[in-house]
Structure 1
Amino acid sequence: MALRGTNQESGRPYNRRIVLESIRLHGPTTRADIARGVGLTVQTVSTIVRELEEQGFVLSGRDEPKGRGLPPATLRINAAGGYAVGIHLTPLGIDAALIDLGGNVVENTRRAAPGVSPDRAFELIRVMVRDLTRSRPGGRVLGVGMALPGPFGVETMSFVGPTTMAGWENVALRDRLAEATGLPAFLDTDMATAALGEQLYGYGTKFSDYYYLYFGVGLGGALVHDGAVLRGAWGNAGEIGHIPVVPDGEPCPCGNRGCLERYVSLEALGRSGAGETDWLRSVAPIFRNAISTIENLYDPQTVILGGLAPPELLERLAELGKELPNSVSARRDRVTPRLIVALGGQQSVLRGAAALVVSGVLSPRFGKMFAAEHESGHSGSEGKGMAA
């Protein structure tokens, strides 16, 4: 993951996030090592670290001397220095978790709520967040992040069909989330937050350019480039589930025919009525062609398969990657399979949603940029909030 700071004064809030993330990734580490790694001066890093220590986000220690002089102080994340709530809203229900600064899931809960209405969903979320935060009395809860199915703000794709949040048009999501929980609120698509969770707590420490294929109720994905999740002009980059792959194929609620997620998704598996083995056999050619298409479009180091699907199903899908068609990724010098299963598991979405909070709260400039980017693109003419 490429963490690079900026020496411009206007970038100071951003540098706080970069320094904190460097400590989380590499701690225990020293101020000098951080400065070299992120391209900032030691003085700038020391100033930021002092603030983070005073606020309880970072702990400092020193090893026992082994010779002359004192060894440099080392820094590590204070995991108990703050918590964030991650929420995942799907057409099937609501998952939520309390996550500490180290990315550890402290408590989690789930409510089955198929096709839940906005009013009912936010009432459930209010209770779930209340119960989760009570599990750590006195703990500092920084905010709440919520992940939802995409795409955002595309009426013909966002609110129609079994893989979407039908009935959620024109809902002021961020305002409703903040009102229900009393906490700072942040939002993104589930595929982007899953990719972010994998970047922070999975293969992100090994790969800098990869495609995260999100296998959920529907199918989507996100390209991670140089350690950052690319979201596109309106936050909908990676909606490969609506790429037509079968000419004159099954009708899709989006209005097209033969869309990929009509064949490859949890919804497609359930609708097929077939056993898992028979379903895998029938969709194998479509799935393999989809992987080679992703490779030819993005030239990733690898395609990482994750999402809501059970780990056993993901492993069986990854087995199909042993017979992929030719693409730009079919290189002789490969040392990694072209398709692998995510390390972060099903909790990557929740961890990524919580990471939105940490970035937004500890780097106010980043949080404001994120909110403005999404609300201007998805809220409609009245600016009421993002659409699911």
Structure 2
Amino acid sequence: MEPAISTTLITPVILSGGSGTRLWPLSRSRKPKQLLALTGEKTMLQMTAARCADNTRFGQPIIVTNALHADEIALQTGDCPPAAIILEPAGRNTAPAIALAAIEAGSDAVLLVMPSDHVIDDCPAFHRAIEAAMPMVEDGWLITFGITPEKPETGYGYIRRGEEIAAGVHKVEAFVEKPDAARAAAYVEAGNYSWNGGIFLFRADAFLAALGAFEPEMTVSVRASLNEAARKGPLVYPDPAAFLASRSESIDYAVMEKAEKVAVVPVEMGWSDVGSWDALHALGAGGPHGNVLHGDIVAIDTRDCLIRSEGPVITTVGVHDLIVVATRDAVMILPRGSSQEVKRIVEALQAKSHDTLDMPF
């Protein structure tokens, strides 16, 4: 007999505090990647909100971000107005951010926590995974969604799955740090490891109880910051002094690695964290000659390149395996497969206090 489908309304919690520096020169502190249209006509934030547009299953979202992006987020979510936009005084990682949303939503709320800057191509598969998890969520379990690995990947953390405790739901045996290449290959070969995609589902009271047990001072600080918050329509401004008293910690370290009732739902849903220019190339590489082209581009005898212009014409002849990105004020060129080196570019620009890190292109 199939389990009854829960009718509990789920509150999406969209975490939108990242700066997205790995996608410089497009992504900048004043307009990071989640506020950009990188893979289609909609921005990453809009695509995230659209996954929960069914108002028979999902309530209005709660977005946690910073004050720098408040106006742009309100503008972009006009078709799916949030119940609250919580503006962190400063970033304190995911555990305090989720605590803000959990307290704001209320203890009975079921929270679907999602980063604002991921791609999910197979939304029905994602929704099926949510429904598989819901009976465990209503029994107080903290659920994470494990992405089925496509290849040995050293850039993600992994989740080792244990026994199946419900249809499609496994107890988490361990959260594993980002591995080296040999370990990543062994994890994929073993077949009981998933990528840790940072997407969670749980009751607010279950999360807050676990956070209170393992991080009591953080819980007190976050709750005090909301008790003293200023409010203006959907905008919520936590008290800076109270919130900044919280230490910075991820949900994995603060709660998920320590709590007893933690489970994972493995899912194949066309997921990408769009964490690099190489990832963007992989998402669109089905075009002619393996090129991904955007903007005013003339590519002759060019293959396996990502070339993107937000203004000037870019012309190439006889090149391959490059990433070329141009805005009105910056040009970046590097070999494809080396896009993690953008970090070094950003660090060099930071040393010069270069305005291309901050000013929108």
Instruction: Give me the TM-score of the superposition, normalised by structure 1.
Output: 0.27
Structure holding more helix per residue: 1
